[in-house]
Amino acid sequence: MNSPVWHPFTQHALEPSMKRIVQTGGACLIDEDGSRILDAISSWWVITHGHRHPVIMRAIQAACETYDQIIFAEYTHEPAETLARGLVEVAPAGLTHVFYSDSGSTSVEVALKMALGFFHNSGAPRSRICVMEDGYHGDTIGTMSAGERGVFNAAYEPLLFGVDRLPFPVTGREQATFDAFERFCATGQVAALLIEPLVLGAGGMRVYPATIISELKRIAERHDVLMIADEVMTGWGRAGSLFACEQASVMPDILCTSKGLTGGSLPLAATLCTAEIFEAHLSADRRRTFFHSSSYTANPIACAAAVANLAVWKDEPVRERIGSLVGMQQERLARFQEDLRFASIRQAGTITALDLRVPAGGYLSDVGPRLRAFFRERNLLIRPLGNVIYLMPPYCVTAAELDRAYDAIDEAAAYFAAGRL
Ligand SMILES: *Cc1c(COP(=O)(O)O)cnc(C)c1O
């Protein structure tokens, strides 16, 4: 039972020994005992269409016949070229260039470097990044700096850089968010505003309306501040539209995408930017080069998986599936609307969330792991963020599978009320 593996976000002293997953398919994981576990959080938000979508799996197999890793300086390859053209076509207008990396975190690091590089190369350097309270952008030092501070990054605090934080746009107090942004912009030091459009994911599935993004963009434009949309979670239909920015009719200057880019099959990320940002790095002077690379930039097999994902979006009724999932989620969430055991019933596209009312909330409150165990015993993969219970299923999930998840949430609240959880 002794394993050398150190798992992410796992307190090994408290966690029971882990079941092995031996196969995946549709909305389910199958474990070593043959149990079908409903993957109600899409394996940490990456699986969009469903596990092992045949079109994507076939594309990966075909790519393996031809490629492994290829250096991505001096040479290019077809999957990366096709994917970049495809991304520019479907992304918000004005995003004309595509920089590849390997994860959501690196796509945001790239975005921050592009923003600072833009101002540096333009001869009027700016060094501040503006973010939203409760944001999450990854686990590297730069993205932790931009994200909300707390128990997750307390040990690394001495290495994190300072950022300007906007209050979350609570309904009725939106003006405070805009005023704070105006104040930070007025310093002339803000290079970019980095936000998760519509939904703050790891920060507790906090939802805010699209109009906030449009107003923030207007303020940013007045001060020549770039807007970076971190669509790592919200992209690829999660928030209801292909990209969340579409709902605000906002064209960000930089857009980060990863998780659903390959349908969740392989790690890959892309940071898209405007021609203006690309051109600020274009020069006979080598010092203006965009100095960023990772060994596996634009891995051809991962790019082929992403090209196949684009084909799935084009050839299959993905938008209809998402529309029907949004409706199914809405119907099932409705039963909790008047339920006093829960607070803040909310939905953003395919994502639903509700807070179990508990005496002391917060991520480290015991209720999170206890809920997780409760769901695990019922073959449901649901990982509450503290007392925030959320569902983010693959788009192929069935009505019956969703019913099972919502019935378990109802039952969990009853157990909790009875002191049995
Ligand atoms: C998951 C996530 C990231 C980090 O992505 P990784 O692939 O885990 O590095 C960044 N931003 C947002 C909004 C995310 O949800």
Flag whether the pTM goes above 0.95.
Answer: yes
Confidence (pLDDT) at 71 = 98
271 lines ligand 1 (CB under 6 A): no
Indicate left, alpha or beta for 344 from its phi (over 0: left) and psi (-120 to 50: alpha): left
The count of structural domains within the chain is 2
350 lines ligand 1 (CB under 6 A): no
d(CA 37, CA 24): 9
Mark which of 285, 315, 345 sits at the end of a domain: 315
99 lines ligand 1 (CB under 6 A): no
Question: Which residue, 315, 267, 236, 259, is CA-closest to 136?
Answer: 259
- Same domain? For 267 and 334 the reply is no
Tokens 């508990």 map to which residue?
A: 358
- Same domain? For 271 and 230 the reply is yes
Give percent above pLDDT 90 in the chain. 96
- Ligand 1 nearest-atom number relative to CA 267: 7
Start-to-end CA distance of the chain, whole Å, equals 27
265 lines ligand 1 (CB under 6 A): no
CA angle 303, 307, 311 (to 5 degrees): 165
d(CA 139, CA 159): 13
- Same domain? For 324 and 310 the reply is no
Query: Atom 10, ligand 1: which residue's CA is nearest?
Result: 137
Going from the Cα of 27 to the center of ligand 1, the distance in angstroms, rounded, reads: 21
Going from the Cα of 260 to the center of ligand 1, the distance in angstroms, rounded, reads: 11
**Does a structural domain hold residue 28?**
no
- Same domain? For 232 and 116 the reply is yes
137 lines ligand 1 (CB under 6 A): yes
230 lines ligand 1 (CB under 6 A): yes
79 lines ligand 1 (CB under 6 A): no
pLDDT of residue 361 exceeding 80, the answer is no
Confidence (pLDDT) at 1 = 59
Domain that holds residue 158: 54-315
Q: Which pLDDT tens digit goes with each residue over 203-216?
A: 999 999 999 999 99
Mark which of 286, 315, 344 sits at the end of a domain: 315
Q: Which amino acid is residue 400, in one-letter code?
A: A
Question: Which residue, 263, 282, 271, 247, is CA-closest to 103?
Answer: 271
Averaged pLDDT score across all residues of the chain? 97
**Does a structural domain hold residue 13?**
no
Going from the Cα of 143 to the center of ligand 1, the distance in angstroms, rounded, reads: 9
Mark which of 315, 349, 378 sits at the end of a domain: 315
Going from the Cα of 270 to the center of ligand 1, the distance in angstroms, rounded, reads: 12
Confidence (pLDDT) at 364 = 58
- CATH number for the domain spanning 385: value is 3.90.1150.10
Q: Which pLDDT tens digit goes with each residue over 30-73?
A: 999 999 999 999 999 999 999 999 999 999 999 999 999 999 99
**Does a structural domain hold residue 26?**
no
Cβ distance 395 to 321 under 8 Å?
Answer: yes
**Does a structural domain hold residue 9?**
no
- Same domain? For 159 and 197 the reply is yes
Query: Atom 11, ligand 1: which residue's CA is nearest?
Result: 137
Annotated binding site for substrate: 44, 136, 259, 293, 383
d(CA 148, CA 135): 5
Annotated binding site for pyridoxal 5'-phosphate: 104-105, 230, 294-295
pLDDT of residue 360 exceeding 80, the answer is no
Q: Which pLDDT tens digit goes with each residue over 126-179?
A: 999 999 999 999 999 999 999 999 999 999 999 999 999 999 999 999 999 999
42 lines ligand 1 (CB under 6 A): no
d(CA 393, CA 372): 16
Handedness of CA 397, 400, 402, 405 (dihedral sign): negative
- Same domain? For 301 and 327 the reply is no
261 lines ligand 1 (CB under 6 A): no
Kindly state the DSSP code that residue 357 receives in the 8-state scheme. Answer: P
Q: Which of 233, 254, 383, 390 to mutate to test the pocket of ligand 1 (most atoms within 8 A of CB)?
A: 233
Question: Which residue, 208, 126, 197, 127, is CA-closest to 163?
Answer: 127
- Same domain? For 73 and 108 the reply is yes
Largest CA distance in the chain: 71
Question: Which residue, 89, 115, 74, is CA-closest to 273?
Answer: 115
- Ligand 1 nearest-atom number relative to CA 233: 15
Establish how many alpha carbons lie within 13 A of residue 270's alpha carbon, considering only the half-sphere containing its beta carbon: 26
**Does a structural domain hold residue 47?**
no
- Same domain? For 348 and 253 the reply is no
- CATH number for the domain spanning 184: value is 3.40.640.10
E strands in 217-295: 226-230, 254-257, 269-274
For 99-120, what is the mean pLDDT?
A: 98
- Same domain? For 386 and 366 the reply is yes
**Does a structural domain hold residue 20?**
no
**Does a structural domain hold residue 409?**
yes
- Same domain? For 146 and 175 the reply is yes
**Does a structural domain hold residue 42?**
no
